[in-house]
Structure 1
Amino acid sequence: MERKGLTVTMIFLAESANYGEGIGNITTLKKMSRGTYEQYSYISRQAMRYNIIQQLEWDKTPVDGKSGVVQFAPSATIEDYPEIDLFGYMKTTSKADEQKGGATTRSAVARLSNAIALEPYQSDLEFLTNMGMAKRQNLENGIAQSEIHRSYYTYTMSIDLDRVGVDGEVEISQEEKAERVKALLEALCYLYRDIKGRRENLSPLFVIGGRYERKNPFFENRMMIKKNKINVDTLKEIIEDSGIKQFTYAGVTTGIFDNDAEIKQALSAETVGSVFKCLKEEVDAYYGEGN
């Protein structure tokens, strides 16, 4: 069988990187709860996608609102716009146009999960005022509070390599397919997020993944951190399958996790950068095999 499924799971460290609607003068983080009633902040996949597309400068795909909803323009094709090639689209043509009307869709080729905190939210709040500006004119200052949470986060990107650059009768060259996927991997390696005057570094501190026959995101929902240690035993069990182990790459940033020596030994982990280099080589190998 062809190894046409690429998946990579990452851990990064960030602070208060995605906010919700808010209540009164309190700005609330996006959070979810587990059965233990502990709350975990998260960065939505939509927010992650926004930053990836923006930093790749792929946010030039034309849109329109003729159907009553802002969507990608019917004229946009995957040949010209990598954004809709990798992340999919819905394009609606209204009956007022020359065409009879209707919707065409493309499911995502590159699928993102939410980036979910690996450490529970502890109800920390930041007290805020605009006293510095108010004092300039001897005015009353406003008061606000903002939820804050500094934590490790994990998320997964899975890519169907056989679907990249193919949409009906449209198909781009193998070289262009490879370049698009490698550009996406490069963006993940150096990802950041601007929020509330801060620039949060979302570059991975730990990464594990590879190119496999199955398109399963093997390492998604398997990452845990306790006492600043990654759950190496769980990951070792996953890669025991010969169809996984021989194609898996792992990388870790030295000096961050308390068990980085164990990670390097048990998972044959190298640097984060070397993993992304290997994944790019896997992409070149796949599209160079006549696929």
Structure 2
Amino acid sequence: MSLLKVEDLRVAFPGRGLRAKPVEVLHGVSLEVGAGETLGLVGESGSGKTTIGRAVLGLVRPSQGEIAFDGRDIARLRPRERRPLAKDIQVVFQDPYTSLNPSLTIGDILAEPLVVQGATARSARARVLKLLDQVGLPSDAAERLPREFSGGQRQRVASARAMAPAPKLIVCDEPVSALDLSTQEKVLDLFIDIQRSTGVAYLFISHDLSVVRHISHRVAVLYRGDLVETGPAAMVTSEPSHPYTQRLLLAAPVADPVLQRERREERRRLGAAA
């Protein structure tokens, strides 16, 4: 059985103006994430991929469809009913700095969700030190503030915070797009290591096919609110069948300037033919 199953998900936002009709941004999307699996959800800005993540997190209310987590429909739970799910569903946002309270030490940031769930101060402290070690940060990081860390280190802290309650699923919303390429690779490898050691599943949202290729087992491609292609990561990111996915692949930068120029020309040709 799938850990997360999204069926015919539709989301509409109010239009501008008093008489404007609602604008539907997701048009019946269906996808699944298995336990311990990474599903890469890829598409350009405005495709609706972040809206899917927000719907799974309960931050957006669907206008139609179901979101089943561990066999239970969670699409329309009230805030009080949804609160216990925080232990099992966590999130890592794009900007690691704005998602961390700048006035709290890293130790307090990591301990907070544990204390809320009833952990003692001693057990929370022990868990925090273990988490810091798991994400490759020294134990004295617990006494420091977020501003004392680099972007890559702050994303490690954000990952540790998401892992604190030992969730079953983490929604990763563009978690490496604000980082330089070398730091991106290190953080992606960290996500992979965490998954191997804990069995957590990821819904990994990105606009970059090369990023989702690195981390995903399967890839789903979203275009203007519709799912246009899905399949094993190796196949979708190397031999895509849909023209839009082909354009995404050609948009990914490569080190060879000649090949890069050829890819740009091919992308223009595909765009003109679409």
Q: Work out whether the TM-score is over 0.5.
A: no
Q: Please identify which structure carries the higher helix content.
A: 2
Q: Please identify which structure carries the higher strand content.
A: 1
> Larger C-alpha radius of gyration, 1 or 2?
1
TM-score, L = length of structure 2? 0.30
TM-score, L = length of structure 1? 0.29
